């Protein structure tokens, strides 16, 4: 997700993401690019079927232990508190802009929430693993409150039912997508204040009720970051040791739980809607209707998320029938294969936005009250827009990111299939998933270059 529907409001301050690198910038015809992408995904399935006949990933049981000195520092209480306080201080500093900054588009809180935090969660999680669990300012506030009350942070007033799983976080992802892409007057301070206030109250109230496990299950930012961290090379082995492992092997350790499919579907569906909502066909049609854009946008966002949920779940259930598998939880068992696809879409949609507007936000953050000055001295900082001179390269990167994400998804699904399905029918069982992934590849590229 990003703020492309905010972009018309933010011009000329923001540079439209989809204006950098279009289908006309591709070195080959767009139809050929889409067809080639579909063939690449299908061909990878054939190659894997011939060369990859037994499971190769061991998930959380795998990994090479990090040097003892590094592990001691990362696990040290002082280091964890240093990271926690850094996250809390950054959050409180940004909140100055939210509470006391002027209601205009130079206020850095927009870029802080929508770009540095939301989009920035992905590179942070890839580089450092599940670090957001420690950086999370609300988790730190809850920990400090627990210490003040002299009770364990895991202790709550109620026990969180196991069936709840990640459904609260999935709903939170939908709520954030709605704020960014649909909500009226979303580029105003009062609307953002209301959303952040609701988020803080619900998250902290949940932590008081259910203990700190609520953050992993109910905080959309932490759930998203933890999911993306599964694509990093860092993790913990089943014996608790910090280890380095292959990213897809790390991903293989993602434990299926209630709401996981819903969470991934919300991420993938909202990103797809992001591209669709910028298409001239949708904008032109919606403006001709008597129904408000808010209702139309809300309905379309829900449809996109449900489309991913239904098509993916249907494909995995059909895969079980074709492979004569007796397992009933196949959607959750294969959900990890969608995570690389989410990553590919994030790179394709938001890389240039993150690079360009991330710089601008950092400059604005030097003046949290947006009064026209900055602590570094006016005129000393400027946004480097050199990336805009390489639209052809950006277009190629966008296509490559989508295709690469789907290729990694096919590999992850194949390894899981040969581990779960009878060997003689493992390949046939994957056909429904292959069809869905090829469809996602073509659809993703069409939506990405639909503007």
> Which residues, other chains included, contact 165 with Cβ-Cβ below 8 Å and sequence gap of 6+?
217, 257, 258, 259, 260
Q: What is the DSSP string of 216-264?
A: HHH-HHHHHHHHHHTTSSEEE-TTS-EEE--HHHHHHTPPP-TTHHHHH
Per-residue pLDDT at 326: 66
As given in the structure block, the two tokens for residue 118 are: 């939301």
Please give the DSSP secondary-structure letter assigned to residue 136: -
Cα 359 from Cα 382, distance rounded (Å) = 8
Cα 20 from Cα 413, distance rounded (Å) = 33
> Which residues, other chains included, contact 324 with Cβ-Cβ below 8 Å and sequence gap of 6+?
421, 422, 425
Q: What is the DSSP string of 407-427?
A: HHHHHHHHHHHHHHS-GGGHH
Cβ neighbours around 67 below 10 Å, total: 9
H helices of 28-131, in order, are 30-51, 68-75, 77-100, 109-111, 121-128
pTM confidence score: 0.89
Per-residue pLDDT at 412: 94
Cα 319 from Cα 437, distance rounded (Å) = 13
Print pLDDT tens along the chain (451 aa). Answer: 444 434 333 433 333 344 455 555 566 676 777 888 888 888 998 888 888 888 999 999 999 999 999 999 999 999 999 999 999 999 999 898 888 877 776 788 888 999 999 999 999 999 999 999 999 999 999 999 999 988 999 998 899 999 999 999 999 999 999 999 999 888 889 999 999 999 999 999 999 999 999 999 999 999 999 999 999 999 999 998 999 999 999 999 999 999 999 999 999 999 999 888 888 888 888 888 888 899 999 999 999 999 999 999 999 999 888 887 766 688 999 999 999 999 999 998 888 888 888 888 888 777 777 554 444 444 445 666 666 666 778 888 888 899 999 999 999 999 999 988 887 787 888 899 999 999 998 888 888 776 5
């Amino acid at each position: 997700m990003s703020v492309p529907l905010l972009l018309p409001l933010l011009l000329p301050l923001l540079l439209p993401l989809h204006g950098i690198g279009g289908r006309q910038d591709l070195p080959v015809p767009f139809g050929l690019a889409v067809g080639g992408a579909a063939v690449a995904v299908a061909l990878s399935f054939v190659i894997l079927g011939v060369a990859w006949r037994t499971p190769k990933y061991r998930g959380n049981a795998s990994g090479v232990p990090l040097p003892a000195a590094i592990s001691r520092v990362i696990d040290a209480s002082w280091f964890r508190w240093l990271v926690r306080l850094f996250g809390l201080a950054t959050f409180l500093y940004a909140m100055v802009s939210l509470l006391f900054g002027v209601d205009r588009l130079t206020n850095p809180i927009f870029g802080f929430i929508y770009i540095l935090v939301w989009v920035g969660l992905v590179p942070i999680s890839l580089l450092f693993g599940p670090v957001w669990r420690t950086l999370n300012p609300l988790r730190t506030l809850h920990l400090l409150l627990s210490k003040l009350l002299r009770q364990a942070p895991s202790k709550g007033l109620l026990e969180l039912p196991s069936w709840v799983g990640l459904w609260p976080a999935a709903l939170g992802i939908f709520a954030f997508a709605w704020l960014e892409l649909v909500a009226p007057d979303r580029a105003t301070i009062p609307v953002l204040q209301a959303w952040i206030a609701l988020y803080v109250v619900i998250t902290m109230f949940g932590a008081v009720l259910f203990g700190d496990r609520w953050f992993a299950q109910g905080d959309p930012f932490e759930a998203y970051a933890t999911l993306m961290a599964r694509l990093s090379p860092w993790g913990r082995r089943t014996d608790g040791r910090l280890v380095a492992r292959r990213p897809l092997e790390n991903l293989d350790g993602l434990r299926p739980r209630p709401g996981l499919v819903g969470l991934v579907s919300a991420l993938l569906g909202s990103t797809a809607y992001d591209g669709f909502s910028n298409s001239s066909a949708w904008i032109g049609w919606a403006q001709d209707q008597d129904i408000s854009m808010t209702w139309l946008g809300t309905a379309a966002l829900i449809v996109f998320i449900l489309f991913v949920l239904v098509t993916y779940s249907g494909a995995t259930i059909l895969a079980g029938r074709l492979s004569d598998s007796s397992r009933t939880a196949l959607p959750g068992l294969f959900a990890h294969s969608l995570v690389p696809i989410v990553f590919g879409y994030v790179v394709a949609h938001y890389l240039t936005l993150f690079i360009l507007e991330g710089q601008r936000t950092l400059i604005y953050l030097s003046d949290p009250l947006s009064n026209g000055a900055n602590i570094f001295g006016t005129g000393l900082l400027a946004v480097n827009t050199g990336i805009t001179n390489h639209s052809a390269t950006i277009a190629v990167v966008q296509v490559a990111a989508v295709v690469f994400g789907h290729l990694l998804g096919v590999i992850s699904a194949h390894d899981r299939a040969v581990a779960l399905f009878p060997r003689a029918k493992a390949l046939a069982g994957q056909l429904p998933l292959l069809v869905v992934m090829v469809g996602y590849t073509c659809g993703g590229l069409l939506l990405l270059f639909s503007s």
